[in-house]
Amino acid sequence: MDRNRYDACVRTFFECDSRAITGIFEELLAAASAQSMMPPGAVMAQNYETAQENPEIHVLPGNLRDARDAIFPYFWGTDGWDSPLHLENVKGPANYASLVGALACLLKNPNLCTDTYSMRSNELEVKAITALANLVFYHTDSPWGVFTIGGTISNLYGAKIGIEKVVPGAMQFGLGGADVVGLVSDAGHYSNQTLAGWLGLGTANLHSIPTDATLAMRLDLLAEKLDQLYTDNKKVAFVVATFGTTDGSGIDDLAGIRAILTEKSQKYSVPAPQLHVDGAVGWALCFLSDYDTERNPLQMTAELLSVIRRVQQRTRQMQHADSVTIDFHKMGRAHYPSSAFIVNRKEDLKYLSRSVADTPYFAEAVARRDPALFTLECSRPAIGPYSVMASLNGIGLTGWQMLTARALELAHYLKQRIEALDYCKVLNMDTTGPSVLWWVLPRGRNAKDIFERLVAGSLQTDERQRFFAEIRRLYGKRAATLTPTKDARLSFTTNIGYRPHGCEIPAWKAVFFNPRTDEAIIDRLIESIEETA
């Protein structure tokens, strides 16, 4: 081997040339900053066939600028969701405190499987998990958890604990023919279907409980379903409740669900199902749990204080959960992946544990502290704890209260503006969260009356189909005629999660995740609706 060429390659790519690296990073920052001043971009043309046919692996060693050039077209072609006109979904721009944490993580590149691979980064994960647990569970004594690669995996952890509770030894011996089922909300995330399939439960054994008009699981129907399942000798492993549905910010009554699970498990002498809460979207409302609405130090308006008091009634019910999923990369505006799975009681992790003998690759692992002995992954990035702790402490509790309350304030303002239009109907008027769902019908239609008839079951099928087609057509009309520099980007859902008489309800949708969105954008949105209808 030519050692001179080898040594040159090592110097270029494994010795830190801070000037070269910071220079390239400044170029990327400049490009990102320039793009953030532009309106939301349409999806650029993508040619997957060309990408597959031209993988472009260079033959000769180059330099860091070659590395930059290889990725820059795709970097420029990716929207950072910085524009305040982005209202499409539960995604916003990442905050720059998170960027500081993410960069620090990338420089060291720890693997959170064991102390050997992560050292003090493992300690940082414990610190971040405990901070989030204290925030979310409100009062808790022995929480624990891990960061995962996404909310789906976090939900999977909760369901898996439930299976181990009702089928002891399933980790080693499988379900063994046991008739195991799980329960979810009709408005729950589709990831529940994923975890049921991947855990061997089978999606046919995942039962959905209908919701009420607030997108909350109906407790009466939950109780009925549990009676039916237990009478049929089914093993109910878990109930996945939702704290902030993706479309409409629905929140389940966690205290009510816990009371029912306790009652039914005692009645049938069976282990209580795992009450896992999918709080991927709504968890950040917990920043407001201890906000002093009487002293009101942030000078919230009376209307907003009323919303916050309703939020507090819900967030304080989190203490009833056995486990929870948090996606800090949603309302925490951190970098992907910043998902966490947290148990209310550390001892519940025993249901996921394995011995050191089962993990010879990590022979040095210690059960007291090394996550490799109970995690799904062997390689876990530390982006989560670094981004979370940087964000929590950079922005601070007061900062997070302001950001969270502002999202609620804008959602409430849009609801009031839309509901004032006769031909429009807000569909999640009574939910508390950053999302707004509504109908726009042609002028002359009474949207409120049509919705009441739908709920009452007096709307004929042909009428319903005609009205739903009009709602979709008007959404498409606005999307086709909007002015990119001033009109907010919205999205459309075909099923908000509330299904009166089995009817799936479509809706226009706006989500307030961008902290730079303001009332002027909402006022223009109302104007565009008036122009469209």
How much is the pLDDT for 59?
84
How much is the pLDDT for 246?
93
pLDDT at 383 over 90: yes
pLDDT at 100 over 70: yes
pLDDT at 74 over 70: yes
For residues 293-323, b (16+ Cβ closer than 10 Å) or e, as one string? eeeeeeebeeebbebbebbbebbbbbebbbb
Structure tokens at 388: 């979370």
Q: Give the integer Cα–Cα distance in Å for 478 and 482.
A: 6
- State the amino acid at position 68 in one-letter form: R
DSSP state of 242: E
**pLDDT, average across residues 69-90:** 91
- Count of positions (residues) in the chain: 533
The candidate with the shortest Cα–Cα distance to 241, out of 209, 270, 289, is: 209
> Sheet containing 339-343: which strands, arranged edge to edge?
144-148, 339-343, 323-327, 274-278, 235-242, 180-185, 206-209
Long-range pairs, 447-450, Cβ under 8 A, ≥24: 447/421, 447/422, 447/423, 448/422, 450/425
Give the pLDDT band (50/70/90) at residue 305.
very high
How much is the pLDDT for 480?
95
The candidate with the shortest Cα–Cα distance to 365, out of 92, 58, 115, 185, is: 115
pLDDT at 35 over 90: no
Give the pLDDT band (50/70/90) at residue 370.
confident
Query: Over pLDDT 90: what percentage of the chain?
Result: 81
Give the pLDDT band (50/70/90) at residue 359.
low
Mean pLDDT over each residue of the chain, to the nearest integer? 93
Which range among 116-125, 151-160, 359-368, 405-414 shows the weakest confidence by mean pLDDT?
A: 359-368
Each residue's pLDDT tens digit, 440-452: 999 999 999 999 9
pLDDT at 56 over 80: no
Give the pLDDT band (50/70/90) at residue 374.
confident
The candidate with the shortest Cα–Cα distance to 218, out of 228, 208, 227, is: 208
pLDDT at 43 over 70: no
Chain CA centroid to CA 475, Å: 25
The candidate with the shortest Cα–Cα distance to 438, out of 303, 251, 450, is: 450
Q: Is the pTM of this model over 0.85?
A: yes
What is the dihedral sign for C-alpha 376, 382, 388, 393? positive
How much is the pLDDT for 44?
61
How much is the pLDDT for 358?
65
Peptide bond into 337 cis (omega under 30): yes
**pLDDT, average across residues 478-489:** 95
Each residue's pLDDT tens digit, 497-533: 999 999 999 999 999 999 999 999 999 999 999 999 9
How much is the pLDDT for 426?
98
Best-predicted range by mean pLDDT among 65-79, 167-181, 213-227? 213-227
**pLDDT, average across residues 31-55:** 78
Q: How open is the CA angle 293-296-299, to the nearest 5 degrees? A: 130
Which range among 353-367, 413-427, 454-468 shows the weakest confidence by mean pLDDT?
A: 353-367
